[in-house]
Structure 1
Amino acid sequence: MTPNWDDMRVFLAVAREESLSAAGRQLKIDPATVGRRIARLEASLNAPLFTKSQQGYVLTSAGERLLDHGLKAEEAMRAAAGAMAGSSKTLSGQIRIGAPDGCANYLLPQVCAQICDANPDLDIQILALPRVINLSRREADMAVTVSAPTAGRVLVQKITDYRLYLVASDEYLSARPAIPTPEALKGHRMIGYIPDMIFDRELDYLVDLGVDRVALASNSVSVQLRQVALGSGVCVAHDFTLPFHPNLRKILTDHVSLTRSFHLVRHQGDQRNERLNRFATALTAGIRDEVARLEAAASS
């Protein structure tokens, strides 16, 4: 028996959420109904699709095989919906963007608000996670990344470069010994990422500076900058964040200036989805403009 799309939609939700209750919340149906739909699908295919473990509902080998087909069916449905929506002058529905903490906190709020202003029927969700967003399981419709992925069925587009510098607060700099050279950092408290939670080599800034100890660490850029703003130490910060923290000062700019890039990563199957293409164009232009605006403000 061929699975119908409604059952496949329930199967995909459980595969992604690994929970009947979480899948139910996503689909807006009760968990018991989700369980019955999965049982019906398993019976129709004469194969178990999930096993229950401490981690939740885990795909069996049969479930993994069905997942591949389900994702292709979903891509086809999304492409059809996108083609129909593409004829409208404005965007509508829901779009979810995954992004690293710095981009999600300091760039996307302004950019997404502007896109929503131009598209009143559009709902945008920003997923800020200190890890790589799993596009294959549809955690998001697209993601902003620092490193361009080299594997998987994805579309990758460079958005823009951005700069980073060492920063400290006025309070900290006035109360501590001067920092005339990078070597002088050894006498100062460094703030940065939790070393074993750095999910992208491009974010491992301090190792390139020869810093081997991070006294105050967080997996969140916002927390790091809050600690620096309180006068707790020195950290590497995105130039575009500095207009939001007027008491922070760049230091050692002649010695330390890092450049990184943002990329937009999308499902390869969405390349003919006119709705998502239009949104991606607006998003990349908005991020590019916002980085330029904020970096100019940080330099003035």
Structure 2
Amino acid sequence: MDWDDLRVFLAVARAESLSGAGRALKCDAATVGRRIARLEEAFGAKLFVKSPQGYALTEAGSRLLPHAEQAEQAMAGAAEELGGSAGRLTGQLRIGAPDGCANYLLPQVCAAICDANPGLEIHIVALPRVFNLSKREADMAIAVSRPTAGRLTVQKLTDYQLHLAAHEDYLGQVGPITTRSDLKAHRMIGYIPDMIFDKELDYFAETGGEAVGLASNSVSVQMQMVRAGAGVGIVHDFAIPFCPGVRRVLLDQVSLSRTFWLIRHADDRRSERLTRLADALGQGLRAEVTRLEALAASY
């Protein structure tokens, strides 16, 4: 058995299919199947059971998984140590994040990290759902709720603010919004109710707002609706500087605070490489949220 065999095993365990593992490994599914068969023969045990849902780990496969992940971390650490990077981060790292953070914060923060670490490649995966770190959909994920279950390590990144907002052209047409009761006369913009994947995103339940008239599962789409003058929505303060003409309303009556959390697999806590990236992300996000919220407050 060698590391390459374990790499194939991990790919199948995470993709739960030979074809998915093949795409990740850049080889065909038949080759992946042969490699798994060879590994099972070497161990004298079945590692996967095939079902209509895909390939699931057997008891033996589940016992092998943490050892394979430790080997993966050791190989990544060795590559970092021997790569002559002089303390810099190198290689490929994938960060999962909700689309608001991914659109308005991570591009500039990750660009600065890459500038300071030539040879580092960062993939930003923006999805409106919770990431599965056990399947290695990402090396780490940013979330708006602190998880309470799973083998995870959790680190607070930064708090951020949200307010009701509308475009100045819209406000010029309909007049000022001075009380919550005024909102009844306006179309509200927000999340599709049955697609809210985290209770922290249910803003109108907390504020007692009106029913949503225009909705999207994407916070970026919601912001573009506000920018287009389609109504009033709750938006991230840090997104306002990217949307000329959007102005906050009812500042003294509706104000929300949320937190970004950095989630990592528990087995990664020994990875100096990921810890250094986590520290850089935390510093960068805190500084960027502070900068953008100050800009939003100046409009």
Is TM more than 0.5 here? yes
Maintained 8 Å contact 1:79/1:272: no
Give yes or no for the alignment of 1:205 onto 2:192. no
Aligned to 1:44: 42
| 3-state secondary structure, aligned to 2:296 | helix
The runs of 4+ residues in structure 1 deviating greater than 6 Å are none
Relative distance call for 1:114 and 1:61 in structure 2 (3 A) is same
**In structure 1, C-alpha distance between the alignment counterparts of 2:263 and 2:84, rounded to whole Å:** 20
Confirm or deny: 8 A CA contact 2:163 2:237 kept in the other structure.
yes
Matches within 5 A, 1:37-186: 37-82=35-80, 84=82, 88-176=86-174, 178-186=176-184
Q: 1:134 to 1:196 in 2, by over 3 A?
A: same
Residue identity in the other structure for 2:21? A
1:25 CA drift (Å): 2.0
Change in CA separation of 1:38 and 1:204 when aligned onto 2, cut-off 3 Å = same
Asked if 1:35 is matched to 2:33, the reply is yes
Shift in Å at residue 11 of structure 1?
1.5
- The change in CA–CA distance for 1:271 and 1:86 in structure 2 (over 3 A counts) is farther
Amino acid at match of 2:156: K
SS in 2 for 1:258: strand
In structure 2, do the counterparts of structure 1 residues 56 and 177 end up closer, same or farther at CA, with 3 Å as the change threshold? farther
Deviation of 1:249 after TM superposition, in Å, equals 0.9
| Structure-2 separation of matches of 1:67 and 1:272 | 17
Cα distance change of structure 1 residues 133 and 29 upon mapping to structure 2, 3 Å threshold:
same
Percent identity for Structure 1 against Structure 2: 64
Between the aligned partners of 1:212 and 1:40, the Cα distance in structure 2 is 60
Q: How does 1:288-299 map to 2 (within 5 A)?
A: 288-299=286-297
Matching residue's letter, 2:192? I
Per mean C-alpha deviation after superposition, the further-off stretch among 140-149 and 235-244 is: 140-149
Structure 2 residue corresponding to 1:9, chosen from 4, 7, 10: 7
CA distance in 2, matches of 1:251, 1:28: 51
Report the counterpart of residue 272 of structure 2 in structure 1.
Answer: 274
Q: How many residues align?
A: 298
CA distance in 1, matches of 2:266, 2:215: 36
Question: Which range moves more in the overlay, 31-40 or 63-72?
Answer: 63-72
Deviation at 1:13, TM superposition (A): 0.6
- Partners of 1:174 and 1:94 lie apart in 2 by 48
Structure 1 contact 97–127 (Cα < 8 Å) conserved: yes
In structure 2, runs of 5+ residues without a counterpart are none
User: What secondary structure is seen at the aligned counterpart in 2 of 1:125?
Assistant: strand
**SS of residue matched to 1:250:** strand
Matched residue SS, 1:151: coil
Residues in 2 aligned to 1:151 and 1:217: alpha-carbon distance in whole angstroms: 30
Residue by residue, what CA displacement relative to the aligned partner does 1:188-230 show, whole Å, maximum 9, x if unpaired? 2111112222222111111112235222211111111111111
The answer to whether the 8 A contact 2:10-2:65 is kept is yes
Kindly indicate whether the alpha-carbon contact (under 8 Å) linking 1:19 and 1:57 is maintained by their aligned counterparts in 2.
yes
Matched with 2:257 is 259
Where in structure 1 are there 5+ consecutive unaligned residues?
none
